[in-house]
Structure 1
Amino acid sequence: MAPSRDLLTPPVYKVLSRLTLPMILGIIAVLSVSLIDTYFVSQLGTDYLAALSFSFPVTMSISSLAIGLGVGAASAVSRAVGANNKEQAKRLSTDSLLLGITVVMVVAVVGYIYVKPLLSVLGAKGDVLELGARYMRIWFISVPFLVVPMIANALVRCVGDAFWPSLMMIGSALVNIVATPILIFGWGVIPAFDIEGAAYGTLFAQILTLFASLAILIIREKLLSFHLPSKEQLLESWRYLLSIAVPASAGNMVNPLSIAIVTAIVAWFGEKSVAAFGLATRVEFFAVIPMLALSSAIGPLAGQNWGAGQTHRITEGLKISYWVCVAWAILLSVFLWFFGPFIVAGFTDDNEVSQLALIYLRIIPMSVWGYGIVIVAAAAFNAIGKAKMGLGYYVVRSALFYVPLSWVGALYAKADYVFVGIALANVISGILVAWYSLRYLKQLKLIPN
């Protein structure tokens, strides 16, 4: 293994820095696409912004499915790399892509057919429902081109290379950012596609990323096998991958599904509240980038060191990551307290939407360290093959605290109290997950090999 990719011997903080910093840029690029879409769609009107807000939980759920499939693949492959089993790593990489393609085609077809009932369940009605359906039909066509690059990039990261996945993410985002306003409003001979233009921009960027990511996986990393396995070998490999991917996918889907439920709760207070909630959550996702990057970095570190039998390095990595989450939450709170009004003003001129979004951005950041701890711990446990525990961490936050406390807040008949419930959920779940995850790894040291 090249020294620049060694995850087993350098100081843990150096490994985390090397894997995290490129991913910060990559995730900034990816999340900026969501912000750019929100900005330009918001110029079309409040109904358009509300339609995009209703679509957000759906797009996040399916993206989380793709992430989960990538997590399952990276978990299995990273442990094979840590154990120095190169042939198994190659076989599992290939089979994981075949599995991802199979799953995503089914999801794309079903989603395209049932897009209106899906948005209706979330509370979309009338013109907002029609606008959301127009956007989502194009988005579902792009789903196959979304999933394969996500799995491919996860495989590249798990062998210790965060540079190329980050570069792919940045390239895709730049294409999307340039194409989206042109396709929404039109330019020269290119007609205006209205809200569908945002989805077409995503589709175009993802097609380019698909070919680029496969080229890196095949030519540079040599992680794909062109030898077809027997039916029995393929099914056995899929069973192994699914034992990790299914709970990992479920874990990644818990958060957007809980956001969908809370979106429906916020809808009790009107479409302007939904627009404000959707705007604020998009800004929030952009603001927690360092913690998302940490969660992508802890996986390769944990997986390879688990395969090499070095549990103590995983514990050290988690402790460092948890403290980084706390430090970032403090900086984020200060920044959004002062600059939140300027950020919100760039997305809407509706005073009611602005005020609600600003309240969210002044309450939630003080608690995001708890959310960061949950996603980092889940990523680490997914990587070591304990995906059911990773799922459990998400369930603790979302099912036990996030949704129930949001509902309790809504009983006060004011959206502000929903936001307070979300903050409490982050704090309580963060404390519980940090304590239990470190306690579990400490106990493993006491078990004789």
Structure 2
Amino acid sequence: MNDKHGLLSAPIGRVLFNMSLPNLIGILTIYGGSLIDTFFISQLGTDALAAVSFTFPVAIVFASIAIGIGAATSTNLSRLIGAGNTTKAKSFLFDAMLLTFILISILVSVGIMAIDPLFTLMGANEKSLPLIHDYMLIWFCSAPLLVLLMVGNQGIRATGDTRSPAIIMAVAAIINLILDPLLIFGIGPFPRLEIQGAAIATLVSWLVAFTVSGYILIYKKRILELMTLCRVRITANWKKLGHIARPAALMNMMNPIANGVILAMLARADQAAVAAFGAGIRLETLFLVVIMAMTSSLMPFVGQNLGAGQHKRAKDGMMLALRFALVFQTLLYIPIYFSGNTIAQWFSSDPAVIDSLSFYIHVLPAAYGPLAIVIIFATCLNAYHRPMKSLVINLVRLFALMLPLAAVGLYLGGVKGLLIALPVTNTIMGIACYIMASKLTEPDSAHLHYNNDELNSSADSTL
């Protein structure tokens, strides 16, 4: 069995570190670019920053679909690779990319037609709505590139290679960083496009990254090939994708939906708080970047070990990651707390925005350790083929705890009361998820294997 990256045999800590480090560099570059993007847009004024903040939940809906399909793709591919079923892996990835393209094309068409009513419903005012319209028209056209790129990169990671996707996304972030000021402010020969310039910079960066990712999948990894459109094979593979992708995508969609509800609450209380919350969400992704990198490594690690029948090694890797996440995020909170006011002043000169964002930075990261436990455990449940349990955990966290507590907090303490509800929720769920993880049993063996008929049908379908 090919174990080039040591997922099945090397020391667990070393494997996760070696896989997570390139992920960390790539994700840090991406989110750093996103923060710089936010910084440039904030120079256009509070209205522009608020407008982009409104678009963030919608953008994450598309990313959530990519994460859902990507999770299903990575889970199944890593198990097939771990079991040595390369032919089946190729047909599975092709069918996953096909489904991704069809779904996103439909959503883009609906999204373009629904821009004004959707963001009006979310609480956008007359100043923000035209800016949102200008930004989202271009963003929707580039969304298929992003989602196909994310799913394709999960295919690369399933082989144990986390370095290539990290480089791809880092290059995309650098391109976006270079183009942002040129197109937003009209530097040199470039026209001043303001918020539209930010969207065009994003489109160009995703196009380049998508092209490079496709090249690696087809020519370097040889894990993606053109297949005949065999109904039997596609139906079987889409069914396997759906088992993980539907609840995984829905789980990830819950976060932007909840954020959208919180934004609507804030919009009716204080427009400056909307801008602060939008910047805070971007900061949160940066503060959790190490956890995101580790999560991307855990999926192929757990999947390949389960596929090879090494159940104890898979669980040991998960528990090691949970303990590391709690300690790391707790220690990271110390410098975050003491730099809160300075960071807030980077994003705005509006005293109201600075006050809300500073409070966000001081309070929410206190519970990022427990939140990291929730993120890691939910991801591992997908690898264990228990996506519904993962979905239920997120539903409880967001809709049974977070939003009700946020509404009570807003009523009793205004914007700050609402923000306090978020770390309280994450602490409760983090404790619950660690207890559940420690009691997690081996998966049903029926979920770990693919029968010979499926392998033969996929082999017959290759061009």
TM-score (norm 2): 0.93
**Residue in 1 that maps onto 2:454:** none
Q: Is the CA contact 2:364–2:423 (under 8 Å) kept in the aligned structure 1?
A: yes
Partner in structure 2 of residue 289 of structure 1? 289
Are the equivalent residues in 2 in contact too, given 1:311–1:441 (CA < 8 A)? no
- 1:337-379 Cα distance to aligned partner (Å, 9 max, x none): 2112221111111111111111111111110112111111111
Question: For structure 1, which runs of at least 5 residues remain unmatched after alignment?
Answer: none
Say if 2:77 is the partner of 1:77: yes
What is the alpha-carbon distance in structure 2 between the residues aligned to residue 397 and residue 294 of structure 1?
Answer: 22
2:222 maps to a residue whose letter is K
Amino acid corresponding to residue 295 of structure 2 in structure 1: S
Matched, 1:224 2:224: yes
SS in 1 for 2:127: helix
Q: For the Cα contact (< 8 Å) 1:119–1:133, is it kept in 2?
A: no
| Superposed displacement of residue 3, structure 1 | 5.0
Is contact 1:108–1:141 with CA below 8 Å preserved after alignment?
A: yes
- 1:66 is displaced (CA, Å) by 1.2
CA distance in 2, matches of 1:268, 1:410: 11
- Measured after TM superposition, the shift of residue 328 of structure 1 is 2.1
Residue 308 of structure 1: how far off its partner (Å)? 1.3
Distance in 2 separating the partners of 1:57 and 1:345: 24
Point out the more displaced range, 83-92 or 379-388. 379-388
Conserved? CA contact 2:384–2:443, under 8 Å? no
Contact 2:94 2:227 in 1 (8 A): no
Task: Name the CA distance, whole Å, in 1 between partners of 2:226 and 2:59.
Answer: 32
- 1:25 alignment counterpart: 25
Matched with 1:344 is 344
User: Which whole-Å CA distance do the structure 2 matches of 1:288 and 1:155 have between them?
Assistant: 23
Letter in 2 for 1:351: P
Letter in 1 for 2:357: A
Q: Residue in 1 aligned with 2:367?
A: 367
Is 1:424–2:424 an aligned residue pair? yes
The 1:246/1:396 distance shift into structure 2, 3 A limit, reads same
Q: Post-superposition shift, 1:441?
A: 2.4
Q: Does the residue aligned with 1:198 lie in a helix, a strand or coil?
A: helix
| Letter of the 1:201 counterpart | A
Tell me the residue number matched to 1:236.
236
Say if 1:443 and 1:170 are closer, same or farther in 2 by CA, change over 3 A. Answer: closer
Give the partner amino acid of 1:285: T
- What is the CA distance between 1:92 and its match in structure 2? 0.5
* 1:184/1:192 contact within 8 Å kept: yes
Structure-2 residue corresponding to 1:148? 148
| 1:288-316 Cα shifts (integer Å, max 9, x gaps) | 10111111111111111111121212221
State how far apart, in whole Å, the 1-side matches of 2:184 and 2:150 are.
26
| Aligned partners of 2:35 and 2:282 also within 8 Å | yes
Give the equivalent residue in structure 1 for 2:410: 410
Q: How far apart in 1 are the matches of 2:399 and 2:88?
A: 37
CA distance in 2, matches of 1:141, 1:229: 26
CA distance in 2, matches of 1:436, 1:443: 14
Amino acid at match of 1:98: L
Same amino acid, percent of matched pairs: 33
Question: Matches of residues 38-117 of structure 1 in structure 2 within 5 Å?
Answer: 38-117=38-117
More deviation, 175-184/430-439: 430-439
Q: How far did 1:174 drift?
A: 0.3
Bigger shift: residues 433-442 or 47-56: 433-442
The residue correspondences of 1:374-385 to structure 2 (distance < 5 A) are 374-385=374-385
How do residues 180-329 of structure 1 correspond to structure 2 at under 5 angstroms?
180-329=180-329
- Given that 2:5 and 2:161 are in contact with CA atoms closer than 8 Å, whether structure 1 keeps it comes out as yes
SS in 1 for 2:160: coil
| 1:318 Cα deviation from its structure 2 partner | 1.7
Alignment of 1:437-448 (within 5 A): 437-441=437-441
The answer on whether the counterparts of 2:62 and 2:147 sit within 8 Å (CA) in structure 1 is no
Residue in structure 1 matched with residue 354 of structure 2 by the alignment: 354
Distance in 2, Cα, partners of 1:89 & 1:82: 10
CA drift of 1:225 comes to 2.2
Distance 2:38 2:354 in 1: 14
CA–CA distance in 2 between the matches of 1:114 and 1:36? 28
Asked if the contact 1:76–1:385 (Cα under 8 Å) also holds between the matched residues in 2, the reply is no
Output the CA distance in 2 between the equivalents of 1:220 and 1:172.
20
| Residue range with higher mean Cα deviation, 109-118 or 386-395 | 386-395
Name the SS for the 1:228 alignment partner: coil
| Aligned-partner Cα distance in 2 for 1:383–1:423 | 27
Q: Could you tell me how far apart the structure 1 residues matched to 2:395 and 2:294 are?
A: 20
Offset at residue 135 of structure 1 (A):
0.8
1:382-434 Cα distance to aligned partner (Å, 9 max, x none): 12322212222222221222212111111114111111100101100111111
Please name the residue that 1:131 is paired with.
131
TM-score (norm: length of structure 1): 0.96
Shift of 1:331: 2.3
CA distance in 1, matches of 2:394, 2:179: 35
Q: Is the 8 A contact 2:319 2:437 kept in 1?
A: no
For 2:249, give the aligned amino acid: S
- Which structure 2 residue ranges, 5 or more long, are not aligned? 450-463
Q: Shift of the alpha carbon at 1:329?
A: 1.9
Q: 1:280–1:358: 8 Å Cα contact kept in structure 2? A: no
Name the CA distance, whole Å, in 1 between partners of 2:9 and 2:153: 24
Mapped contact 1:79–1:384 kept (Cα < 8 A): no
156-165 or 400-409, larger mean C-alpha shift: 400-409
Amino acid of the structure 1 residue aligned with 2:13: Y
How far residue 286 of structure 1 moved from its aligned partner, in angstroms, is 0.8
Q: C-alpha deviations, 1:48-80, integer Å up to 9, x for none?
A: 111011111111121111111111111111111
8 Å CA contact 1:172–1:206 kept in 2: the answer is yes
Deviation of residue 236 (structure 1)? Answer: 2.0
1:401–1:429 contact (8 Å) kept in structure 2? no
The CA deviation at 1:138 is 0.9
Task: Give the Cα separation in 2 of the matches to 1:229 and 1:113.
Answer: 31
C-alpha distance in 2, partners of 1:444/1:367?
33
The one-letter code sitting in structure 2 at the alignment partner of 1:76 is: N
Match of 2:271, as an amino acid? E
Residue 444 of structure 1: how far off its partner (Å): 7.5
